[in-house]
Chain A
Amino acid sequence: MLSSKAFDDYIIPLEQWIEGGVSWLVENFRPQFQAIKWPVEVTLNGIDSLLQMIPPILFLIVLGIIAWRAAGWKVALFGILTLTLVGFLGLWEDTMTTLAMVICAVVFCVIVGIPLGIYASRSNRFESMLRPVLDAMQTTPAFVYLVPVVMLFSIGTVAGVIATIIFAMPPIIRLTNLGIRQVQADVVEASEAFGATKSQILWKVQFPLALPTIMAGLNQTMMLSLSMVVIAALIGAGGLGVPVFEGLNSLRVGLAGIGGISIVLLAMVLDRITQALGTSKHLERNESS
Chain B
Amino acid sequence: MPQEKVIVSGLFKIFGPNPDRAFKLIDAGKEKDAIFKETGLTVGVQDAEFSINAGEIFVVMGLSGSGKSTLVRMLNRLIEPTAGTVLIDGEDVTAMAPNHLRELRRHSMSMVFQSFALMPHLTVVQNAAFGLEISGINKAERQKRALDALDQVGLKDWARSYPRELSGGMQQRVGLARALAQDPSIMLMDEAFSALDPLIRSEMQDELLKLQDQHERTVVFISHDLHEAMRIGDRIAIMEGGRIVQVGTPDDILNNPADRYVSSFFRGVDPTTVFSVGDVARKSQLTLRWHKGEGFPTAALEQMRQEDRDYAYVLNRHQKFLGVVSSDTLDEAIERNERNLDGALLDNIEPVSAETPLQEILSEVRKYECPVPVINDEGQYMGVISKRTFLRTLEHGAQ
A residues neighboring B (CB under 8 Å): 184, 186-187, 189-197, 200, 204-205, 208-209, 282-283, 285-286, 289
- Nearest 9 Cβ contacts at the A-B interface: A195-B106, A195-B105, A190-B117, A194-B131, A186-B117, A193-B111, A195-B102, A286-B164, A196-B134
State whether A289 touches B164 (Cβ < 8 A): yes
Contacts of B388 in A (CB 8 A): none
Of A187, A196, A197, A282, which one neighbours B118 at CB under 8 angstroms?
A187
Contacts of A186 in B (CB 8 A): 113, 115, 117
State whether A194 touches B182 (Cβ < 8 A): yes
State whether A192 touches B133 (Cβ < 8 A): no
State whether A285 touches B162 (Cβ < 8 A): yes
Instruction: Select from chain A the residue with minimum beta-carbon distance to B99.
Output: A197
B272 interface residue, CB < 8 Å from A?
A: no
Closest Cβ of chain A: how far from B162's Cβ, in Å? Answer: 5
Q: Mark B63-97, 1 if CB is under 8 A from A, else 0.
A: 00000000000001010000000000000000000
The answer for the CA separation of A282 and B121 in the assembled complex, in Å, is: 7
B120 interface residue, CB < 8 Å from A?
A: yes
Which residues B111-126 have CB closer than 8 A to chain A?
111, 113, 115, 117-121
State whether B103 touches A195 (Cβ < 8 A): yes
State whether A193 touches B105 (Cβ < 8 A): yes
Of B105, B115, B120, B162, which one neighbours A194 at CB under 8 angstroms?
B105
Closest Cβ of chain A: how far from B301's Cβ, in Å? Answer: 48
The answer for the CA separation of A139 and B355 in the assembled complex, in Å, is: 57
The answer for the CA separation of A204 and B106 in the assembled complex, in Å, is: 16
Contacts of B133 in A (CB 8 A): 204
A-B contact pairs, 21 of them (CB 8 A): A184-B117, A186-B115, A186-B117, A187-B120, A189-B113, A189-B117, A191-B134, A193-B78, A194-B131, A195-B103, A195-B104, A195-B134, A196-B134, A204-B133, A204-B134, A209-B121, A282-B120, A283-B121, A285-B162, A286-B164, A289-B164
Could you count the A-B residue pairs with CB atoms below 8 Å apart for me: how many are there? 65
Of B118, B120, B131, which one neighbours A195 at CB under 8 angstroms?
B131
Given contacts A186-B115, A200-B134, contact A194 B110 (CB under 8 A): yes
Q: Count the B residues whose beta carbon is within 8 Å of the partner chain — how many? A: 28
Contacts of B188 in A (CB 8 A): 193
The answer for the CA separation of A204 and B130 in the assembled complex, in Å, is: 9
Which residues B256-273 have CB closer than 8 A to chain A?
none
Given contacts A186-B115, A187-B118, A285-B162, contact A193 B110 (CB under 8 A): yes
Q: List 4 additional A-B contacts (Cβ < 8 Å) besides A195-B102, A195-B107.
A: A190-B117, A194-B182, A282-B120, A285-B164
Contacts of B162 in A (CB 8 A): 282, 285-286
The answer for the CA separation of A197 and B101 in the assembled complex, in Å, is: 11
Instruction: Select from chain A the residue with minimum beta-carbon distance to B121.
Output: A208
Closest Cβ of chain A: how far from B285's Cβ, in Å? Answer: 38
The answer for the CA separation of A208 and B130 in the assembled complex, in Å, is: 14
Closest Cβ of chain B: how far from A288's Cβ, in Å? Answer: 10
B165 interface residue, CB < 8 Å from A?
A: yes
Closest Cβ of chain A: how far from B52's Cβ, in Å? Answer: 18
Contacts of A197 in B (CB 8 A): 102
Given contacts A189-B78, A289-B164, contact A194 B106 (CB under 8 A): yes
Instruction: Select from chain A the residue with minimum beta-carbon distance to B119.
Output: A187
Interface-centre pick from B78, B106, B121, B188 (highest chain A CB count, 10 A): B121
Interface-centre pick from B76, B106, B120, B182 (highest chain A CB count, 10 A): B120
The answer for the CA separation of A209 and B111 in the assembled complex, in Å, is: 21
Contacts of A204 in B (CB 8 A): 133-134
State whether B111 touches A190 (Cβ < 8 A): yes
B249 interface residue, CB < 8 Å from A?
A: no
State whether B165 touches A192 (Cβ < 8 A): no
Closest Cβ of chain B: how far from A155's Cβ, in Å? Answer: 46
The answer for the CA separation of A186 and B103 in the assembled complex, in Å, is: 21
Instruction: Select from chain A the residue with minimum beta-carbon distance to B103.
Output: A195
B319 interface residue, CB < 8 Å from A?
A: no
Given contacts A282-B162, A285-B165, contact A195 B135 (CB under 8 A): yes
Instruction: Select from chain A the residue with minimum beta-carbon distance to B164.
Output: A286
Instruction: Select from chain A the residue with minimum beta-carbon distance to B109.
Output: A193
Instruction: Select from chain A the residue with minimum beta-carbon distance to B182.
Output: A194
The answer for the CA separation of A190 and B130 in the assembled complex, in Å, is: 10
The answer for the CA separation of A195 and B178 in the assembled complex, in Å, is: 13
The answer for the CA separation of A163 and B170 in the assembled complex, in Å, is: 53
Instruction: Select from chain A the residue with minimum beta-carbon distance to B132.
Output: A194
The answer for the CA separation of A204 and B126 in the assembled complex, in Å, is: 11
Instruction: Select from chain A the residue with minimum beta-carbon distance to B166.
Output: A289
Contacts of B121 in A (CB 8 A): 208-209, 282-283
State whether A289 touches B165 (Cβ < 8 A): yes
Q: Mark B287-307, 1 if CB is under 8 A from A, else 0.
A: 000000000000000000000
Closest Cβ of chain B: how far from A250's Cβ, in Å? Answer: 54
Closest Cβ of chain A: how far from B110's Cβ, in Å? Answer: 7
Contacts of A200 in B (CB 8 A): 134
